[in-house]
Amino acid sequence: MGYGGCKMSDKTNSKTKFIFITGGVVSSLGKGLASASLAALLQARGFKVRLRKLDPYLNVDPGTMNPCQHGEVYVTDDGTEADLDLGHYERFSGIPATKYDSVTSGKIYQRVLDKERHGDYLGATIQVIPHVTNEIKAFILGNITDEDFVLCEIGGTVGDIEGQPYLESIRQLAYELGRDRTMFVHLTLLPYIPTAGELKTKPTQHSVKQLQEYGIQPDIILCRSQIEIPQNERKKIALFCNVKEECVIAALDAKSIYHVPLAYSAEGMDYQVCKYFGLETKTKPDLDKWKHIEEVMQNPEGEVKIAIVGKYQLQEAYKSLAEALTHGGLANHFKVKIKWLDAEDVEKQGPDELLNDVSGILVPGGFGNRGTEGKIAAAKYAREHNIPYLGICFGMQMAVIETMRNVAGIKNANSSELSDDCEAVVGLMTEWDKDGAKEIRHKGGDLGGTMRLGAYPTVLDEKSKVYQIYGCKNISERHRHRYEVNIKYEPVLKKSGMVIVGKSPDGKLPEIVERPEHPWFIGVQFHPELKSKPFAPHPLFVAFVKAAIDNSRLI
Ligand code: GLN
């Protein structure tokens, strides 16, 4: 089951300090970004950090949740389907997240119930306190090595019923580990009332009161606000919420998420954290890399427009993708402007009118029938008009289907995910290798956690464009899919101008396709966006954005 579940004191390094981040007033305030930014600042002061997310909902993981509600499902190297905040953590800290860094109530309860069935609690009545809370504490304390700080973000908002065991657990941990090893950061909102011309502190006061009812006294209050927070308001929050005035920290709306660490540092966030724990604060944090990003972002050499032809209305569903495009832009000193297109609109209106002003087309991952014909039309448009195309996962499958239908002439080519009555050029994977063992799947099996998930190796063809882009033959990328292009179509595809240039090491699974005759047309079965970072932009995105820039110069 996997997240350790070790006992309280057996693994925890006594120097590790814990920072718990909670949120109040409203959801979507950006706790994930706040946590990631604080972690980046502590790193900039030379500390080793680790970030963890605790989600109170009852799903075992977000893998089966609708992306329109919950946003992107982030996938780690070890194949954990996790909350998108883990993506922020990785992008800001550069530390790959693992299964030990993401938990939900579903997972916690599953573990408690497994133990109950196994007889581990024999004789006891199983209760939220202590059995569920002990499991939460074991998750927080488990699998820590030599980290100076572990930052734990509690999902949801203070007052949510599902969140209560988490608040109780972190309260207990503060008691058990001592306040010199634990800190509470609470993120709230100061609404601005234009008619009164005022920022309101009352919701923050209520939210902190509620935290205090659970026995938690915040040490830092991070206040999201549209405008500067006047000293008077800071004083009020400090006095009524029982925190030091200098620990009421403004988190103003930022022009870019990559500005947030600089903004927090200017407000004294990392200084206050170090001071709280009695750590050296004489030297300033090294923020050069963040300043460099800021500099490049503010002075781009130009702008390039790239279409994302998706189907989930919520942009959060494509979080890592949008970030990876930004990173690709940064590497080229260009601003990437995303034209968000609904695949159903492309289907209805046709691609000409919607895609004629973009310099690159990206068809992202997806599931199910809705919008597929629009995605296929977008791939066709890119192929016929020599527009740079990047197909990711479903976007690669759609490009293959397009070539099979419109170039190879197999009119009923499709994926067995989408039709039972078709020539299944993309079919269900029933068997594949994982670390030397076989993974087996059946039609109609469980949907949760059963895809081909996490890092798998791909071997590149040395004559390909992707080989030039990656600069090496063996790569590893993160996957999340159930269907796969059938390798038996390789010769037909080749005849139709599409070459399989990346395969699994056993040669059975196509991983990358490209069109050698096209200026830039690449489809990948994996998700490169998950590994892109502002300081290490993913080579595929750097190359794709560059191709789009070159293309825009031709327009
Ligand atoms: N639905 C497709 C599959 O399962 C693609 C998945 C994806 O794009 N992540 O294979």
The domain that holds 388 is classified in CATH as: 3.40.50.880
Contacts of 240 (CB under 8 A, 6+ apart): 201, 205, 208
Using the 8-state DSSP alphabet, how is residue 306 labeled? E
**Computed from CA positions of residues 203, 205, 210, 216, in that sequence, does the dihedral angle turn out positive or negative?**
positive
Q: Name the domain count of the chain.
A: 2
* Element housing 392 (H / E): strand 389-392
* Whether 393 is catalytic: yes
Residue 394: which domain range? 302-428+484-554
Q: CA-to-CA distance for 6 and 1, rounded, in angstroms?
A: 13
Shared domain check, 275 and 193: yes
Using the 8-state DSSP alphabet, how is residue 184 labeled? E
- The reply to whether 222 falls in a domain is yes
Q: CA-to-CA distance for 155 and 23, rounded, in angstroms?
A: 8
- The reply to whether 117 falls in a domain is yes
End residue of a domain, out of 292, 327, 359: 292
- Name the residue at shortest CA distance from atom 5 of ligand 1: 394
Index of the ligand 1 atom closest to the CA of residue 417? 1
Q: CA-to-CA distance for 539 and 543, rounded, in angstroms?
A: 6
Shared domain check, 338 and 273: no
* Whether 274 is catalytic: no
> Which residue matches tokens 């991952």?
365
End residue of a domain, out of 292, 322, 347: 292
Shared domain check, 284 and 308: no
> Which listed residue (147, 477, 529, 538) is catalytic?
529
Residue 130: is the preceding peptide bond cis (ω within 30°)?
yes
Shared domain check, 530 and 409: yes
Report the alpha-carbon angle 410-413-414, nearest 5: 170
| Size of the chain in residues | 555
Half-sphere exposure in the Cβ direction for 169 (13 Å, CA): 29
> Which residue matches tokens 């940064």?
330
423 CA distance to ligand 1 middle (Å) = 18
Shared domain check, 331 and 208: no
- The reply to whether 451 falls in a domain is no
Supply the pLDDT for residue 531: 97
End residue of a domain, out of 271, 292, 313: 292
- The reply to whether 160 falls in a domain is yes
52 CA distance to ligand 1 middle (Å) = 27
Shared domain check, 285 and 388: no
φ/ψ (deg, to 5) at 455: -75, 130
Shared domain check, 317 and 259: no
Supply the pLDDT for residue 49: 97
Q: Which residues does a 6 A CB cutoff place in the pocket of ligand 1? A: 365-367, 393-394, 417, 480-483
Shared domain check, 306 and 255: no
> Which listed residue (393, 479, 518, 538) is catalytic?
393
- The reply to whether 435 falls in a domain is no
- The reply to whether 520 falls in a domain is yes
Shared domain check, 100 and 34: yes
Contacts of 467 (CB under 8 A, 6+ apart): 460, 461, 473, 501
CATH number at residue 114: 3.40.50.300
> Which residue matches tokens 């950090």?
49
Q: Are 337 and 303 in contact (CB under 8 A)?
A: yes
Positions in the chain short of pLDDT 50: 1-11
> Which residue matches tokens 């081909």?
452
- Can you say whether residue 343 is alpha, beta or left, with left for phi > 0 and alpha for psi between -120 and 50 degrees? alpha
Shared domain check, 409 and 327: yes
* Whether 529 is catalytic: yes
* Six token digits for residue 5: 């579940």
- The reply to whether 252 falls in a domain is yes
459 CA distance to ligand 1 middle (Å) = 21
Query: Any bridge partners for residue 363, and if so which?
Result: 391
Helix, strand or coil for residue 309? strand
Shared domain check, 341 and 210: no
Supply the pLDDT for residue 554: 64
**Computed from CA positions of residues 524, 526, 532, 536, in that sequence, does the dihedral angle turn out positive or negative?**
negative
- The reply to whether 460 falls in a domain is no
Q: CA-to-CA distance for 538 and 542, rounded, in angstroms?
A: 6
Shared domain check, 376 and 279: no
